[in-house]
Amino acid sequence: MDIKVLGSGCANCKALEARTRAVLDDLGVVAPIEKVTDFADIAGYGVMTTPALVIDGEVVLAGRVPPVADLVAIIERATA
Amino acid sequence: MELRADALAQSRRLRPWSLVAAGAVVWTAAYAVNRPLWEWLVGDVAGLDRGARLGGAVEFFVYDTTKILLLLGGIIFVVTVLRSFMSVERTRALLGRHRHGVGNVAAAGLGVVTPFCSCSAVPGFIGFVAAGVPLGITMSFLIASPMVNEVAIVLLYGLFGWKVAVLYAAAGLMIAITAGWVIGRLRLERWVEPFVFETTLHGRTIDPGAGLTWHERFAMGAEEVGRIVRRIWPFLLVGIAVGAAIHGWVPEDFFAEVAGAGNPLAVPIATLLGIPLYSNAAGILPLVEALHAKGLATGTVLAFMMSVVALSLPEMILLRRVLKPRLLATFVGVVGAGILAVGLLFNLIL
């Protein structure tokens, strides 16, 4: 599973990365999180409001840091 | 059995609303009681002379801090919930087909209601331009978003009354529309960093605003209040402290002599002063309020505020990634000129 967090270093972007990491660890999923900070790449995904989460090339959420429960649901759906 | 499950589901749906309603009642009570409470605490309980410099400054400080925190909390919550229905992605879709002129007005208007943080400035810019939204229209959006900011408007209303707040919003929109239109007419696309036009948009665009429940929207509102307050409270305290000092120690009408409405240099100086200063609206407003109380003309005050908020150095450093220096300079020049004009005009007519 290929996971990317899109964001250029604002507090929300770091928060999303940390929360995603925590959820992955809790679920026991072994997957590296790649941080994408280049603006051109971020915009290339069609994302205009950071932070955003990309799983296996598909943007699964953008523009906010969701509560842990939502993140768990998203990741479980992706691993299913 | 089914009736009880239904009732449970019903109460679960209503719970976020009852919490919000309770919160609103508490907020209104706190706001109403704020001034008398501090007058009593500072004057009677602590025994300070509220007419004297120290007493006046202390009372200003505690009263203003409470008032601004309350206003901020209320506005940010309401606006975040409302804005959760809009998104930059949807705005881009809406702006894609407008012609210049109308497009500038639409972009400025949408800039006000679309949720936008400064970290979205660059991806937003790239996303708009790469999707074919004309440069001038994109600029109108980018200027309106930070400047006609709900925090600024409601705080202005709380501190100066609705007339000033409406004037600020109207002036901000006019500047956004005109500056964007002018930049569009100057045909400055050649001064955008080339990679922006080469960015291809792949992948399905996701709309962050769709499909959220009320509970999620309220949760976002509450989170945003916490996030913003945590980020700005040092600026706020410094701003209020400086405001309190001015309130207590600077003589009444001091600025009226030095930089009153008749002095035409006041507005350009105020505009220039605002550029290196970085603050969001909340931090600068207590300072602005105190300056105004000491005789600084309304137009000068508004020019200063707009300059601090719209021509912020950090945002310009960010925009340098996508705008070549000449376009950036044009941007600053056109917006700065607009702010100057607004400041001078208000000093004349108010």
pLDDT in tens, B157-179: 777 778 888 888 898 899 999 98
pLDDT > 70 in chain B, percent: 87
CA atoms within a 13 Å half-sphere pointing along the CA-CB vector of B304: 23
The model's pLDDT over B105-125, given as tens digits with 9 standing for 90+, comes to 888 888 888 776 666 778 788
- Count each helix (H run) and each strand (E run) in chain A, helices first: 3, 4
SS3 B127: helix
The arithmetic mean of pLDDT across residues B61-80, rounded, is 83
Contacts of A43 in chain B (CB under 8 A): 123, 126-127, 130, 199, 201
Shortest alpha-carbon distance between residue A27 and chain B (Å): 23
Domain spans of chain A, in order of start? 3-79
Task: Dig out the tokens for B126 from the structure.
Answer: 């790239």
Q: Are strands A3-6 and A33-36 parallel, antiparallel or unpaired?
A: parallel
Q: How far apart are the C-alpha atoms of B131 and B269, rounded to whole Å?
A: 39
- Inform me whether the pLDDT recorded for B76 exceeds 70: yes
Give residue B208's pLDDT. 64
Find the closest chain B residue to A6 by CA distance: B123
CA B166: distance to chain centroid? 13
Using pLDDT thresholds of 50, 70 and 90, give the confidence band for residue B311.
confident
Q: How far apart are the C-alpha atoms of B113 and B107, rounded to whole Å?
A: 10
The arithmetic mean of pLDDT across residues B18-22, rounded, is 87
- Inform me whether the pLDDT recorded for B264 exceeds 80: no
Per-residue pLDDT of chain A (80 residues; tens, 9 = 90+): 888 888 877 777 888 888 888 888 888 888 888 988 887 788 778 777 778 888 888 888 877 778 788 888 888 888 77
Residue numbers of B between 314 and 333 with CB closer than 8 Å to A? 321-322
**B111 Cβ under 8 Å from any chain A Cβ:** no
The arithmetic mean of pLDDT across residues B226-236, rounded, is 78
Average pLDDT value for chain B = 80
The model's pLDDT over B80-89, given as tens digits with 9 standing for 90+, comes to 888 888 777 7
Give residue B70's pLDDT. 86
Give residue B316's pLDDT. 83
To the question of domain A3-79 being in CATH 3.30.70.1290, the answer is no
Q: Are strands A33-36 and A52-55 parallel, antiparallel or unpaired?
A: unpaired
Sheet holding A3-6, edge to edge: A33-36, A3-6, A52-55, A58-62
Give residue B207's pLDDT. 67
Q: How far apart are the C-alpha atoms of B200 and B114, rounded to whole Å?
A: 24
Report the complex ipTM.
Answer: 0.75
Give residue B177's pLDDT. 92
Q: How far apart are the C-alpha atoms of B29 and B26, rounded to whole Å?
A: 5
The arithmetic mean of pLDDT across residues B286-302, rounded, is 80
DSSP state letters, B205-231: ---TTTT--HHHHHHHHHHHHHHHHHH
Cβ A53 vs Cβ A3: under 8 Å: yes
**B92 Cβ under 8 Å from any chain A Cβ:** yes
Contacts of A10 in chain B (CB under 8 A): 117-119
Give residue B258's pLDDT. 64
Chain B interface mutation, best of A48, A50, A60, A64, highest count of B Cβ atoms under 10 Å = A48
Give residue B278's pLDDT. 62
DSSP state letters, B4-54: HHHHHHHHHHHHHHHHHHHHHHHHHHHHHHHHHHHIIIIIIIS---TTSHH
- Inform me whether the pLDDT recorded for B1 exceeds 60: no
Contacts of B117 in chain A (CB under 8 A): 10, 12, 49
**In the 8-state DSSP scheme, what is residue A10?**
-
Q: How far apart are the C-alpha atoms of B25 and B31, rounded to whole Å?
A: 10
Q: Bigger pLDDT: B188 or B315?
A: B188
- Inform me whether the pLDDT recorded for B349 exceeds 80: no
Closest CA to B239 of B303, B312, B291: B291
The arithmetic mean of pLDDT across residues B130-138, rounded, is 86
Cβ A12 vs Cβ A50: under 8 Å: yes
**A45 Cβ under 8 Å from any chain B Cβ:** yes
Give residue B272's pLDDT. 80
Q: How far apart are the C-alpha atoms of B247 and B58, rounded to whole Å?
A: 10
Cβ B197 vs Cβ B129: under 8 Å: yes
Q: How far apart are the C-alpha atoms of A41 and A59, rounded to whole Å?
A: 13
Task: Dig out the tokens for A43 from the structure.
Answer: 């915009």
Long-range contacts of B290-293 (CB under 8 A, 24+ apart): B290/B60, B290/B242, B290/B243, B290/B244, B290/B246, B290/B247, B290/B250, B291/B246, B291/B255, B292/B160, B293/B246, B293/B247
Shortest alpha-carbon distance between residue A79 and chain B (Å): 20
Cα dihedral A55, A56, A60, A63 in deg (nearest 10): 60
User: Using the beta-carbon criterion (under 8 Å), do B128 and A62 form an inter-chain contact?
Assistant: no
Cβ B251 vs Cβ B63: under 8 Å: no
